[in-house]
Structure formats: C-alpha cells, structure tokens
Amino acid sequence: MGTAPASRDVTSYGMGLAAPLALFFLVFFVAPLLQLLWLSLHNDTAALHWGLGQYIHFLTDPFSLGVLGSTLLLGAEVTAVCLVLGFPIAWLYQRVGPRLQTIIILIVLLPLLTSVVVRTFAWIVILGRQGIINATLQSLGIIDTPLKLLYTQFGVVIALAQVQMPLMTLPLITALGRIDPNLDDASCSLGAGSWRTFFRIVLPLSLPGVIAGCTLTYAAAITAFITQSLVGGGQMLFMPMYLYQQASTLQNWPFASAISIIFLLAVLAVVSVFTTLGRLSRGFGGE
C-alpha cells in the first residue's frame, strides 16, 4: 500500500535522540544510586573497610527492623484508608452530572494545590490536645479529658491519608470511567444484586486503577518525611526520619546508605506484590 510518509514508525528514530535524558538520569540518578550502594558496603563511617557490616547490623537489630516494619505497616494502613474512602468518591464521580463532577474533582485536587507543610500544620491544629476534635467532643460532653490524637499512629495515618488521597482517587476515577455503564445494567438485568455486581463486575474491571492508586499511595505514604515527622512527633520513628538521623545527625553515612538500600528493596517488593496480584486477577478489561 502506498501510504504518505506522514508519520514515521517511532522505532525508526535514532536512539541518540534519547541521549540527553539518558545522560541526565545517568548523572543524577544512576550515579548517586551506585555511590549509595558503594557507601553501604563499608563497615566504618570513614568508608575505608569493605564489608556487609551495615546490612548485618540493620537486619540483626530489633530496633531497626521495628522501624522498617512500622513504616511498611503505616503504608499499608494509609493505602487501605485511601482505598476505602477514595473508591466511593470515584464511583460517585462517574454517576453525577457534569457540574457535580467539577466540584468533586476540585475537592480531590485541592490538597495538591496547598503545600504539604501547610496541610500538615492544619492537621496539628485539628488533632491537638486543644484542637478542633477534642474541643468539639468536650463541649458536647462526650469526653472529659482530651483524647491523644496527635503523635499517634492513628493521627499519622489520618493526616497521610488526606494528603495522599488524590493519588488514589485520580487513577480510580480514570479506571471506573473506562467501564461501560451498560455492564451495570446487564448484570442487574441478569438478576444480580448491587453487591454481586460490585464484586464480580465493577471491582475486577477497576483493578488496574486500584493497583495504580495503591502503588502511588503506598510509595508516597512511607516516604512522606514531613507529615510523618510533624504529626508523628518524636515518639513515632519511621524510616525516612531514621535515615535522616543516621545521615545528618550521627554522620553515619554507610549505615544511612544501607538503610536506603534496604528500604528501597522493601518498597520494590511490596510494589511488585501489588502488580503480581493485578496480573493474577486477570482484571484487565478491554484491549
């Protein structure tokens, strides 16, 4: 067939065109990562003696493993809260008129338009001993003494969930929008109730969005240094702060590097579990 040479096959372009970006990544991403790895393989702070000491130290130290565990757990909790609260919002978005859609998308995006620091301080005001929640509950006579909300795991999860919510909601809105609304009607006309329709049709078909949302939320939640530190306070220690202390305060760069590498691998493991689950569920509707 004689087609006009309007669009060339993208694979026919020279690889050289990718060189600037490749160089950028090489210098500012690959090289530091390799340096980090190199640094972590030294037993002393001056990085003179090679060895796996830092890794052995981390993996045999109950305190370090505890920090890693609680960080991964924190991510799971935040992800779960975002999924449970974000799914109904995304579902609602697909079923309301265009005006309400604009309002919902604005509410979803609003957190992204304010600085993380500002949002986190707002949560301190809300959760504090004299904060909005405690003041309201006390004035209603529901509680006598203020609840401890700030500097608790609960507080950190709630604050992080609000901050990371757009990362969950946006992929879900996209995924739910791709589902043919006739499928709902078809399921219903075949005798299925709302719950069966949701679990057999809507949820499996929205899995690509669920997985994308969970991956983004999880990765963002466990690395959220500012919110974790400000709402968690001194009592709650998570990996980013632990790393910061080792590197900045204690100047133990090899150990901080080892923490980074272990954290990185742990996150990659969790993310690949998400992805594998998605593939196994063969929930990828359409082509």
Partner 1 sequence: MVEAQGGRSLVVDAITHRYPSGALAVENINLDIKGGEIIALLGPSGCGKTTLLRIIAGFIAQSQGRIIIGDDIVDALPPNKRAVGIVFQNYALFPHLSISENVSYGLAARGIDKVTRQREAQRLLELVQLPAMAERLPRQLSGGQQQRVALARALAIKPSILLLDEPFAALDKNLRLDMQIEVKRLQRVSGITTLIVTHDQEEALSMADRVAVLSHGKLEQFGSPSDVYDRPQTLFVNTFVGSTNRMPGVVVAADRAEAKVRLDAGAEIIARPAGGALSEGGRVTVCIRPEHLQFVADETGFAGVVGMSLPLGATVVHEVTTADGSGVKISQARIGETRALENGAAVRLAPLAPSLANAFPATL
Interface map 196-225 toward partner 1 (x if CB under 8 A): x---xx--xx--------------------
Report the alpha-carbon angle 241-133-220, nearest 5: 30
Q: Applying CB under 8 A, which of residues 2, 62, 98, 193 lies at the interface with partner 1? A: 193
For partner 1, the binding residues in 171-190 under the rule CB under 8 A are 180, 182-183, 185-190
141 sits near partner 1 (criterion: CB under 8 A): no
Contacts for 89 with CB less than 8 Å, ≥ 6 apart: 104, 108, 169, 172
For the chain, the helix, strand and coil percentages under 3-state DSSP, each to the nearest 5:
75, 0, 25
CA distance 128 to 134: 7
Q: Applying CB under 8 A, which of residues 5, 48, 234, 282 lies at the interface with partner 1? A: 282
CB 251, min distance to partner 1, A: 54
285 sits near partner 1 (criterion: CB under 8 A): yes
Residue type, 71: T
DSSP 48-91: -SBSSHHHHHHHH-HHHHHHHHHHHHHHHHHHHHHHHHHHHHHH
CA distance 24 to 201: 44
CB 205, min distance to partner 1, A: 6
CA distance 226 to 241: 9
287 sits near partner 1 (criterion: CB under 8 A): yes
284 sits near partner 1 (criterion: CB under 8 A): yes
73 sits near partner 1 (criterion: CB under 8 A): no
94 sits near partner 1 (criterion: CB under 8 A): no
- What residues make contact with partner 1 under the rule CB under 8 A? 180, 182-183, 185-193, 196, 200-201, 204-205, 282-287
